[in-house]
Structure 1
Amino acid sequence: MEIFTPRPAQKHVLEYTHGTMGISAVPGSGKTHTLSALAAKLILDGWLEMDQEILIVTLTNSAVDNFSARINAFLENATRRPLIPPYRVR
């Protein structure tokens, strides 16, 4: 996976750590990539307790596989090894 260099608005999203957040943007603006990076960051930085989850709501079911693949790629890139996902995407 290529190195992700966020734009200013994406960087603002990546700094988010608490509560509900909504993102509205045009197709191709990087929402999926940015939210996947945020989910991986929250997992890697230990923000979640064992009984907590990150909820990403999408408009289509096909986005589930895309989010899962991207989150896993971010986690594998950060740890430099394949992972048994410590999360679930549904």
Structure 2
Amino acid sequence: MILERDPEGYQMAIMIRSMKKNKKENNKISSIQDKAEESYMDELHERAKGVSLEDTELKGCNTVLNVSFSGEKAEIGEISTQEFFRIKVE
């Protein structure tokens, strides 16, 4: 009956119902993801117990891959690594 009298209103009601259903499902998924992330962080904290950074050297590097495109083929060129910082932890 609503469909016949107000087709736009009917479509709006169907969309709202669908959005509410999707919101409930997304909340369930989000909750599962939050629990998994929390469990993973707890595991990392357990692994880190007793680890010391003394006498450790930290360094950061960028890796560069040169690729050139000519026509339909890509040519892979040189691969290089560039160090951008080095820190000695004492």
TM-score range, shorter chain: under 0.3
Structure with bigger RCO (C-alpha 8 Å, 6+ apart)? 1
Q: TM-score, normalised by structure 2?
A: 0.24
Q: TM-score, normalised by structure 1?
A: 0.24
Q: Which has the higher strand share?
A: 2
Q: Which has the higher helix share?
A: 2
Query: Which of the pair has more CA radius of gyration?
Result: 2
